[in-house]
Structure 1
Amino acid sequence: MISFLSRRLAYTAFTLLLVSFVSFVIIQAAPGDYAEIVAAKRAATGAIISAADVQAVRVELGLDKPWYEQYWRWLSGALQGDFGYSWQWRRPVGEAIGERMPLTLAIAFSTLLFMYAVSIPIGIYSAVHRYSFGDHASSLIGYLGLAIPNFLLALVLMYLGQKYFGQSVGGLFSPEFANAPWSWARVKDFLSHLVIPVLVLGTAGTAYLIRSMRAAVLDELDKMYVLAAKASGLSPMQLLIRYPVRMALNPIAATLGWRLTYVISGAPIVGYVLALPDTGPLFLNALLNQDMYLAGALIFLYCLLTIIGTFVSDLLLVLLDPRIRLE
């Protein structure tokens, strides 16, 4: 196990280094830079901006240096916990992300919990009662969940909440709790507002996992070892949980890493639509304004979460299936 963990940590470090390089190069490849965006904003107010003024801003921000010097300066600072300075927010990147990352993690892991808690039981039921009314109903709901984009579902829920309940479903806090210190009342208000983002982000993933779980259980039910286990006298529920379901969980556990990626990748647009104070709108604005240190740090953290999810998937597979060996 120690050898396995050491190899995975080495792979993780190399992957993060490669991701940081690629993300930095991609952000740099976009036409223009932050200095030109600042100049355009000033020109929109009627100010006269010359090429020398743009170059002065570029020198002040260090954008006149070659890209590899900028990357090395950012990477050396990141290794010490300093991800640079956000030009758009006029504050260190760590502070800008630190305020919103806990809410992002709360939304992401709540969505994952919702997806697996709903999809696994329904998938098992659909497999055991195949072609029943419940099976067809779950299939219909699943296809609808896969077909409806997240942002469209968010807009529909916002409209329904405003029209029929007179309440806005945007944000994660009521106005009186938006800037209040944490308390039990604020936690309850946060949990009540968390339902809509979790539903929006988790609908398509839940629908996909239901179909995957149903197919995996159906594939295991007709195998010879299940028929042999039936002859041993196990009750139907014990037989189902101990053998087909346990084997069917392998592909579900293996997708944990990229399920987390799916949730986080869908968060920026949904967060923008629902006005969520998480890192989604922060990331989108950083890309639009070419705030490269902020955008690069967020990409780095998103990939880190993906790698952690993949690592947890590998551990779950080892625990679920004794046939899987670390070699």
Structure 2
Amino acid sequence: MLAYVLQRLAGMVPTLLVISLLIFLIIELPPGDYLSNQIDQLRAQGETASIAKLEFLRREFALDRPFLERYGVWAGLWPGPNGFDGILQGNFGWSFEFSRPVRDVVSGTLLLTVILNFATILFVYLISFPIGIYSATRQYSWGDYGFTFLGYIGLATPNFLLGLILLYLMNEWFGVSIGGLMAPQFVGEPMSLDKALSVLAHLVVPTIVIGTAGTAAMIRRLRANLLDELHRQYVTTARAKGLSERTLVLKYPLRMALNPFIADIGNLIPSLVSGSVIVSVVLNLPTVGPVLLTALQSQDQYLAGFILLFVAGLTLVGMLISDLLLAVLDPRIRLGQGAAA
């Protein structure tokens, strides 16, 4: 297993390099860049004093060079002008929109984004699994119909509308401040117990809002997969041998029905980041979603490229975790891995 993990980790390096090239290519597809667009605007307005500074920045960050050379400088594959380092050397570039290093722009949002994604994934699985098992084992019961109805409501309700309703209720009932991931007095303060408790309280609304649609969809999929497994011959044989219904469901069909959901862990991460942009804007969440949206709109390529590369890295880590969990869950995968080795 250790050799497999090391092999996968080593394979992530060329994968991230290819992904970074694709990200940089896609970001550069629209004509121009942030600085050239600013230069065009200044020329149209007749202001020439600041053009020299912007042209200097274009040369400083190698934006006046060919595509492959610009990519190599950004990725850190070769040095840029005046010793400018790239991502491989720990320099994530400069954000022209915020006039700050990319590291400073995203330093306060990456950790909160990871925390929010982890809380949302945990919420989706903790809610959907017991409801999906209940609906499958009690098919066509009142509870099954009730959870199905609630699931359809969750799929049909717009996330931003649900977020506004929950924000109002949390503020009225529990006094939680509206917007953000912590109370205003903790913004910019070092981590403390009170700040951690404030973050946990503010995580409730975005976790429910972002995870509602995914929870409803996962309940339906788990119910369908588990129903399919419950009608297989090995379940009938185990039931005929006198195995209790609880032990039967948990030991055999549920483990087989869970494979697609464990495999989806890696796919959930990018979907949560991309699908929560509107929610983050409405709820004023300090995550990378609104920052990425601003960077793409202004063609701030270094900032947008790093955020997309960060999400890709999270996806690869999520896929590795899902593969390891699948090997633990399903003996057939472990046997196949040993045979391949």
Q: Give TM-score, length-normalised by structure 1.
A: 0.91
3-state SS of paired residue (1:29): coil
- Contact 1:150–1:266 (CA under 8 A) maintained in structure 2: no
Deviation at 1:225, TM superposition (A): 1.0
Deviation at 1:197, TM superposition (A): 0.6
Out of 147, 157, 163, the position equivalent to 1:154 is: 163
Q: Percent of pairs identical after alignment?
A: 45
Number of residue pairs the alignment of both structures matches: 326
Say whether residues 1:292 and 2:291 are aligned partners. Answer: no
- Contact 2:42–2:51 (CA under 8 A) maintained in structure 1: no
Post-superposition CA distance 1:205-224 (Å, at most 9, x none): 10111011111110111111
Q: Which residue of structure 2 lines up, in the alignment, with residue 173 of structure 1? A: 182
Q: Give TM-score, length-normalised by structure 2.
A: 0.87
> What are the ranges of 5 or more consecutive residues in structure 1 without an aligned counterpart?
none
Q: Which residue of structure 2 lines up, in the alignment, with residue 48 of structure 1? A: 47
Q: Which residue of structure 1 lines up, in the alignment, with residue 71 of structure 2? A: 71
Summarize the Cα distance change of 1:155–1:30 in structure 2 as closer, same or farther, 3 Å threshold: farther
Q: Which residue of structure 2 lines up, in the alignment, with residue 13 of structure 1? A: 13
Q: Which residue of structure 2 lines up, in the alignment, with residue 242 of structure 1? A: 251
Out of 212, 217, 226, the position equivalent to 2:221 is: 212
Structure 1 residues 190-269: aligned runs within 5 Å: 190-269=199-278
Residue type of the partner of 1:222?
H
Q: Which residue of structure 2 lines up, in the alignment, with residue 112 of structure 1? A: 121
RMSD: 2.5
Deviation at 1:272, TM superposition (A): 1.4
- Contact 1:86–1:93 (CA under 8 A) maintained in structure 2: yes
- Contact 2:295–2:301 (CA under 8 A) maintained in structure 1: yes
Q: Which residue of structure 1 lines up, in the alignment, with residue 192 of structure 2? A: 183
Say whether residues 1:130 and 2:139 are aligned partners. Answer: yes
Deviation at 1:96, TM superposition (A): 2.1
CA distance in 1, matches of 2:205, 2:41: 35
3-state SS of paired residue (1:121): helix
Q: Which moved more, 1:158-167 or 1:298-307?
A: 158-167
Post-superposition CA distance 1:31-80 (Å, at most 9, x none): 33111443477689x77248964645533543212121111011112112
Post-superposition CA distance 1:146-189 (Å, at most 9, x none): 23343343344446667898865311112222233221111111
CA distance in 1, matches of 2:103, 2:146: 47
3-state SS of paired residue (2:331): coil
CA distance in 2, matches of 1:122, 1:187: 30
